Chains A and B, each alone.
Chain A
Amino acid sequence: MDLPVKMLTMAVAVPVFGAFLVPFAARISTPVRNALAVLLGLFTFLAAASLFTTVLGGQTSTWMLSFPRGFDLILHADLLSVFMASVSAFVSLIILIYSLDYISHYEGQTEYYAMVVLFLGSMMGLVFSANLLWMYVFWEMTGFCSWRLVGFFRSDKDVAKANKTILVTVFGALCMLVGIIMVYFHYGTLDLRALHGQPISLLAAAFILAGILSKSATLPFSTWLPDAGVAPSTVTSLLHAAVLVKIGVYAYARIFGVTFAAPDAFSNAVLYIAGASALVSAGAALIETDIKRIIAYSTVSQIAFIFLGLASGNKTAFVGALLYILMHSIAKGGLFLCAGIIEQNTHTKDITRMGGLFASMPLTGVAFALCSLSVMGIPPFGGFFSKYLVFSGAAQNGNLVVLLMFLAGAVMTLLYLVRLFYKIFLGEPAGHDCPKEGSYTMVASVLALAVIGLALGFLIYYPSAYAELLTNTLGVNLQ
């Protein structure tokens, strides 16, 4: 086995199996357990990132384990999977570091770390799988991890929300399995490399789409995501920025972007669904008063922009969507981690009871502002370029109604984020005793994400060159 293949298998195997070592490490001592969790995260990121050299050299690497009936476990590193894996693993790593302080005074930490690492490992497995069935296997594993993590606090309400999360996503996944079975019997294989460029029937595509929409919390399956906000902020951050929600987007890019040539009617339908999703959730974000629910609705809305880029059917938009995945992961991860600091120090999630926090939490405020600006798409932040490319691609596509829906959505994004920032950090203090700043590692984590968001804007050449290379090499049916 040469080095890239080794790295590929380790990027999946180390976190998946390492997660089961976390309880044993916890037997030794708490620091050992925490160190193990962070090291597993770090290793995963490095292993995934090390594959950049291979794929940039125009090569791919593949590892295969033979299973009967064409259910082979195929791990395949190409431009798209390495990109997605690195982004996810990086944000997860930051979240793990942040967790060290954030989670340190709750019960059930061992399970928390084990589940986060397993989540990351399943995500790696999903991203690198080149077999639809194994994508489904890892897909369900992430569903299981999210169930345990959303129900972290274990009150009746938390567990009910966790059950809602898993039931909605598993229902979607079962629909997707129906679609996968259709593909299986139509082509006799589930190997995505062999299916490259094949047409897919509308019905099968619709079934698979149901799974994707349920995982990425797009209309009509969006309600579980705001409800999942009962979890600790690190978990919501993980779900929104690094793993769960991105799975849907990645699966769309993988299945309909670079494998199957989806029918036009299907892509158009996705555009309208995404447009409706962007508008409805942005509207909900404008009237909510719970900080985490606002950010959650914002995710639903932003995910719709990624779908816009992926489904528009031209290269500009596709490049924009890929950049959007990167920018949104960084910025949304930062926003949620800021929300975690705020929530933990003010002991409330209600923004009407905050106000004027900038004086006592200046660093968090700055990080929050930078991340918000990136999500809004203000130049020179990274978010600007991705949003610009998505819109210009959508304009080329020429569907005016969809374009107007998304423009309205973008304006609303601006409004609710400004409102959110104002209510939390500016204005008169509303009955709190000027809480202190978060701990050193927590603030450092959010600042790191905020600065990276800004830096990506200045260095936009590199990621966009990569995304263009990806689109030109792998894209199917793009103009």
Chain B
Amino acid sequence: MDKGLLAYLLIPLLSAVIIPFAARNRPKLADILANVTLLAGLANLAWLALRPSIIRGEFADIPGDGFSLLLVAAVYLVALCVTFFSAWFIEEGLPNRSAYYSLILVSVSAMCGVVTTTDFFTLYVFIEVLAVTSFALITTDESGAGLEGALKYFFLTFPASALIIIGIAVMLMSLGSLSFESLRFFMASDLPAGPVTFGAALMLLGFIIKAGVVPFHTWAPDAYQGAYAPVSAHLAGIVTKVSGVYAIIKMATLLRFFDGRAQALSEMLMFLGLLSIAVGALAALKQTNLKRMLAFSSISQVGYIVLAAGLGTPLAIMGAIFHLINHATFKTVLFLNSASVEKSAGTTDMDKLGGLEHTMPWTSWTSIVALLSTAGVPPLSGFWSKLIIILALWEAGLKGYAVLALLFSIVTLAYFMMMQKKVFFGKKTPAAESSPEVCAPLLAPVVLMSGLIVALGLLFPYFYVYVKMVAERILL
């Protein structure tokens, strides 16, 4: 356990315990406590990583491997956007409102646990906590769709947990230890890898299911569509990325894919990654519901990260980390915007929407920024991460993969253009007629995130230096 970051885990947990008591008589207090906790954490992190002296020193003074810190920051950022948004989005009279905030905070501390732990058993525990809180969060929307999504999530994610625990058992038997370091040393040695890679394969399979990679993706669209829109943003933006994708990247570095000791696993991951890119993008083309389309888009983008993680070279790992962060920014914007559209126009059915750009210019423009970044249009942040992934593929001699991954960007762009056309452009539909722009506090998180997308794109050299430092530390 990285003790330096323990506070980021414990403080939200404490707030989560306090909130139900504090908010019993004053429901507003729940909003305030949750937001203040996350904001304070974020300010602290910014001080830790973005002091001028740290930036000048090319981030050499960052404690730990830097990867945990980056992800803790992403967790806090997305969660802050979600809670801030929820404070105005969820009606005040809702009975389980304080429980909702507590759940978000518990999931934040669970995610911090996942990204700071250094052994597989702790990883498993926190991932389970995360699965339970996500399940509960999806059911906060008590409609039929919410329950259906939650059940689907349940039926796919708990078998995945079972696979992970069996994998851990196999690993304990064959390796004798569960720490990350021992696996890394083992993979660097010349001992026959058979049983250990078998255990790792089982765990990877579990993480793949949790990440929603094709062909185990079916839970994602139902869960994201059924849940409250801020919850979808939380799940798609960060939760599945931490519980599934982060774990896959971590495994990729521990198994040392780049020196070919687990060739078969590496190839399988890359194949599934490319399959996700293709299936997610093509399925998104056919969707008529905005949230469902975003869910498929998420599956497709996760494919890029898994593809890069499967390759496992230092450059590919950099691309994967960079894309993970970018995905958190643009997918949060898109999901929160879908929430704004739902609140304002009353529906997310794209056939019923249209012409919203006149009444909702901010929502329209932030969507454009986020979708262009997703499609990898320069100079936004998504372009650089995709470029790095593709360069890594090319460098490793996998030219076919590189070209396919690149050309699927055009499909991404196509479904987003279609979305923008149906929702924001065109003639005003009856639903759009009476839909004003949402209030400023609901816009603040998306504007912040859009600004971040542009900033990460333009300040690419700084971010590159950071991510390079991370990749060097976690691969050595």
A residues lining the B interface (CB < 8 Å): 66-69, 136-137, 140-141, 143-144, 147, 151, 154-156, 159-160, 163, 166-167, 170-171, 174, 177-178, 181, 184-185
What A residues does B383 contact at CB under 8 A?
A: 137, 140
When distances are taken between beta carbons in the complex, the residues of chain A under 8 Å from B468 are 68
Residue contact A166 to B402, C-beta cutoff 8 Å: no
Q: A137-B379, A140-B378, A181-B391 are in contact. Are A163 and B417 (CB under 8 A)?
A: yes
A181 contacts B402, CB within 8 Å? Answer: yes
Contacts A163-B418, A177-B406 given; does A170 touch B413 at CB 8 Å: yes
* Interface assignment of B410: CB less than 8 Å from any CB of chain A: yes
- Asked, given contacts A140-B377, A178-B403, A181-B394, whether A66 binds B461 with beta carbons under 8 Å apart, the answer is yes
What residues of chain A lie closer than 8 Å to B402, measured between beta carbons? 178, 181
Q: How far is the CB of A285 from chain B (nearest CB, A)?
A: 29
Determine if B406 and A178 form an interchain contact, defined as CB atoms under 8 angstroms apart.
yes
Asked whether B427 lies within 8 Å of A185 as measured between CB atoms, the reply is: no
User: Which B378-416 residues have a C-beta within 8 angstroms of A?
Assistant: 378-379, 383, 390-391, 394-395, 402-403, 406-407, 409-410, 413-414
Across-interface contacts of A66 in B (CB, < 8 A): 461
Which chain A residue shows the least CB distance to B408?
A174
A67 with B461: CB separation less than 8 A: yes
A154 touches B425 (CB 8 A): yes
Complex contacts, A154 vs chain B, CB 8 Å: 355, 357, 425-426
Whether A155 pairs with B427 at a CB distance below 8 angstroms is yes
Chain A residues near B409: list those with CB within 8 A: 170, 174
Query: B60 interface residue, CB < 8 Å from A?
Result: no
In the complex, are the beta carbons of B425 and A151 less than 8 A apart?
Answer: yes
Residues of B within 8 A of A166 (CB): 413, 417
Name 20 interchain pairs, CB-CB below 8 A, sorted by A.
A67-B461, A68-B460, A69-B391, A137-B383, A140-B377, A144-B372, A144-B377, A147-B417, A154-B357, A163-B414, A163-B418, A166-B413, A170-B377, A170-B410, A171-B410, A174-B410, A178-B406, A181-B391, A184-B391, A185-B394
Tell whether, in the assembled complex, residue B426 and residue A155 are in contact, meaning their CB atoms are under 8 Å apart.
yes
Mark B423-455 against chain A: 1 for CB-CB distance below 8 A, else 0. 001110000000000000000000000000000
CA distance A177 to B427 in the complex (A): 36
Which residue, of B357, B378, B418, B461, has the highest number of chain A Cβ atoms within 10 A? B378
Q: Is residue B43 within 8 Å, beta carbon to beta carbon, of the partner chain?
A: no
- Identify the closest chain A residue to B391 (Cβ): A181
Give Cα A223–Cα B460 distance, bound, in whole angstroms. Answer: 36
Q: Does B90 contact A (CB under 8 A)?
A: no
**Is B464 part of the binding interface, using a Cβ–Cβ cutoff of 8 Å?**
yes
Residues B390 and A181 in contact, CB atoms below 8 Å apart:
yes
Nearest CB in chain B: distance from A314 CB, A: 35
Query: What is the chain B residue whose CB lies nearest that of A137?
Result: B378
- Minimum CB–CB distance from B330 to chain A (whole Å) comes to 16
A133–B451 Cα distance when bound, in Å, is: 23
User: How many of chain B's residues touch chain A, expressed as a range?
Assistant: 20 to 34
Q: B162 in the interface, Cβ–Cβ < 8 Å?
A: no
Identity of the chain A residue whose Cβ is nearest the Cβ of B355 in the assembled complex: A154
Q: Looking at the assembled complex, report how far the CB atom of B375 sits from the nearest CB atom of chain A, in whole angstroms.
A: 8
Complex Cα spacing A159 to B422, Å:
10
B21 to chain A, nearest CB (A): 47
> What residues of chain B lie closer than 8 Å to A140, measured between beta carbons?
377-378, 383
Contact in complex: A141, B379 (CB < 8 Å): yes
A159 to B418 Cα, complex, angstroms: 9
Whether B173 is near chain A, meaning CB under 8 Å from some CB there, is: no
- The number of residue pairs between A and B whose CB atoms lie closer than 8 Å in the complex comes to 69
Further contacts, 14 of them, CB under 8 A, given A159-B421, A170-B409, A171-B407: A66-B461, A67-B464, A68-B468, A137-B378, A140-B377, A141-B378, A163-B421, A166-B413, A167-B410, A170-B377, A171-B410, A178-B402, A178-B403, A178-B406
Query: 8 closest pairs, A vs B, by CB?
Result: A137-B378, A163-B417, A68-B464, A159-B421, A159-B425, A171-B410, A140-B378, A140-B377
Interface residues of B in 353-385 (CB under 8 A from A): 355, 357, 372, 377-379, 383
Q: Are A167 and B379 in contact (CB under 8 A)?
A: no
The answer to whether A156 and B461 touch (CB under 8 A), given A144-B377, A170-B413, A174-B407, is: no
Residues in A with CB closer than 8 Å to B378 are 136-137, 140-141
Question: In the complex the two chains form, what is the Cα distance from A128 to B377 in whole Å?
Answer: 20
Chain A residues contacting B377 (CB-CB under 8 Å) are 140, 143-144, 170
For A174, the chain B residues whose CB sits under 8 A away are 406-407, 409-410
Residues of A within 8 A of B355 (CB): 154
A167 touches B414 (CB 8 A): yes
For residue B1, CB closer than 8 A to chain A, the reply is: no
B7 within 8 A of A: no
What residues of chain A lie closer than 8 Å to B414, measured between beta carbons? 163, 167
Segment 148-180 of B: residues with Cβ below 8 Å from A: none
CB neighbours (8 Å) of A155 from chain B are 426-427
Answer yes or no: B193 CB below 8 A from chain A CBs.
Answer: no
B465 within 8 A of A: yes
For B410, list chain A residues within 8 Å (CB).
167, 170-171, 174
Q: Which residues of B81-119 are within 8 A (CB) of A?
A: none
A137 / chain B contacts, CB cutoff of 8 Å: 378-379, 383
B413, A167: Cβ atoms under 8 Å? yes
Say whether A167 contacts B406, CB under 8 Å. no
A67 to B462, CA, bound (A): 9
Q: Chain B residues near A170 (CB, 8 Å)?
A: 377, 409-410, 413
CB distance from A459 to the nearest CB of B (A): 40
Q: Which residues of B contact A136 (CB under 8 A)?
A: 378
What residue of chain B has the Cβ atom nearest to residue A65's Cβ?
B461
Query: Chain B contacts of A171 at CB under 8 A?
Result: 407, 410
Q: Distance in Å from the Cβ of B300 to the closest Cβ of chain A?
A: 16
Most A CB contacts (10 A, CB to CB) among B355, B426, B427, B464 go to B426
**A154 to B427 alpha-carbon distance, docked (Å):** 8
In the complex, the chain A residue whose C-beta lies closest to that of B379 is: A137
Query: Complex formed: what's the CA distance from A178 to B465 in Å?
Result: 25
Task: Determine the chain B residues whose CB is within 8 A of the CB of A159 once the complex forms.
Answer: 421, 425-426
How far is it, in angstroms, between the C-alpha of A379 and the C-alpha of B402 when the chains are bound?
52
| Complex: chain B residue closest to A160, CB-CB | B421
Instruction: Give the CA-CA distance A174 to B413 in the complex, in Å.
Output: 12
Chain A: minimal CB distance from B182 (Å): 34
**B417–A167 touching, CB < 8 Å:** yes
Closest to A180 in B: B387
Please give, as numbers and ranges, the residues of chain A lying within 8 Å of B464 by CB-CB distance: 67-69
B413 CB contacts on chain A under 8 angstroms: 166-167, 170
Q: Which residue of A lies closest to B406 (CB)?
A: A174
Give the distance to chain B from A111, nearest Cβ to Cβ, in Å. 9
Output the least CB separation between B322 and chain A (Å): 12
B458 to chain A, nearest CB (A): 11
What residues on B are CB-neighbors of A143 within 8 Å? 377
Min Cβ gap B348→A in Å is: 20
Question: Which residues of chain A are within 8 angstroms of B395 by Cβ–Cβ distance?
Answer: 185
Separation of A161 and B414 alpha carbons in the complex (Å): 13
